[in-house]
Structure 1
Amino acid sequence: MTPMTRFLDSMISPQPIRIVDLKIDSSKLSIPSLTINEMGHLPGRTLQRSQATFESWAFLYIAGGSGFYRVNQGPVQHVEKGCLFFVFPGSVIDFGPKEGGHWDEYYVRFEGSRIQEWLGSWLVQTDIVKHVGFEEAWIAQLDAMFLLLESGSPTQIDGAALQLEAMLFNWMAKSKLPQGQATTSKAVDVLQDIATSLYSPLNAEQLANRHHMAVSTLRRLVSQHTGYPLHDYIHRLKMEETKRLLLSTDLPIKEIADALGYPDESYFSRLFKKYGGLAPRHYRARS
């Protein structure tokens, strides 16, 4: 893990802050190509950073308030609620709330070879503020990642890294959406929420409440945009994630099932065979 400049809590914010770091040796993780080293929630942040340098990547998501961001003495960019920006090695960065102001910040610090793959495809213009909007569902996903990281379980920590990748991918895609597509945008938000919550319990009523809609509307929206009923769609996504874990990790099938919310391994195996054509162990062995 790479070091990070530390400040007293009282220097960062007058409110209580939450910081969770990696509690196990990274060699115990099954996905070495992407590791979350630290997460933080800094409500009411007042601290500004000037001429700051970083030894690892991090994203900062602003859930309230406003401020500024500048990379390598470039133009000063406005930051407000619903904005995302990055800090990264090799650059000098100024950022923070406006003088006398504050913002509500979530950050995730991460490293690994996976980042270079992102930079070669979908992670572009990392020195520009992204306007991705605000959804309570994203705060719920970040809170779930906190719990996974502080669990101390390698499987759960790997799950947090996978959620990080999905969340960033979806945010970057959302930042490129054309304007004036309200229904499509709402559907994208719902589908992104589902895709980044595969390691968390998915309850239709809670999901609908997060997006301020009736459960019947939620079910109709998912069916219209995917062609599948809500729970069928969720099962399909989880089975695709299972395939990826079976091929890219040595995790026991029982651990994969538990991580994805299937405590009954027999039911999980039947479900996987229904969607994948083979039992999990046969799928792994064949590949």
Structure 2
Amino acid sequence: MTGTVSAVPRVDYPPFDRWPWGRRTFVMGIINVTPDSFSGDSLLGQLDEVVRRARAMVEAGADILDVGGESTRPGHVPVPAEEELQRVIPAIRAIRAALPDVPISIDTNKAVVAEAALAAGATMINDVRGLAGDPDMPAVAARAGVPVVIMHDLLIERAEDLIPRLLRDLAQRIERALAAGVAWERIIIDPGFGFGKEPELNLLMLRRLRDLTVFGRPILVGTSRKRTIGYVLGTPPDERLEGTAATVAISIANGADIVRVHDVKEMVRVARMTDAIVRGTW
């Protein structure tokens, strides 16, 4: 990858800078093209179904589609870049051909995958390593000029450390992005629900989410079908709709701007109702 970042094209994408942050919640629909998704919704090798599901999500109200080719579930096996590319690039091309205007996010921590995805039609980078995993990722994001989600994925074990560590670690990652040339207005932060945190801390994080508004950047929260919901309700991933709805609602009430979800139709309704209560808009 070294020596190729200068070739990253500048990407044209919908007017992200003019999205009305704070006035309503944006919904990001999950498109998994992995064989081992924890939620059992993999579309690997099914391009017709990828397009069908993408269309259905947009028709149900999704604002962004997030395409990922590597599972991040606990105990997952890392995927080589070549294999990840074979999974995500055909999916992104198919979605872009069918839906030319919808924002597409590439969910990856590899710069070479992000670069190829942007060339294929993606318009956002969602990096679960917060630009700290692949040393070339900040340069790719900066050169492309696209929105980038900087997530927290570091281990936090004590409740008293949760907010101080989130603030410190995210600040360091934001500084790294800015130093590489990523524009401030392109940054979105994600506190990493389910990453490096046990269920009790994930729940505390949702209660304290508003503390992260100090950064002045949009906040993305991804709770959909995750283990913490199963921990509380004792349900498998395909029976976590109501738990997901509760976490989405409280996330919005406490400052989330984007929610990343599997069940778009239902969560768009949850977001609209919560916005009506919290923001007075729908």
Higher relative contact order (CA 8 A, sep 6+): 2
Normalized per residue, which structure has more strand?
1
Query: Could you say which structure has the larger radius of gyration?
Result: 1
Q: TM-score, normalised by structure 1?
A: 0.28
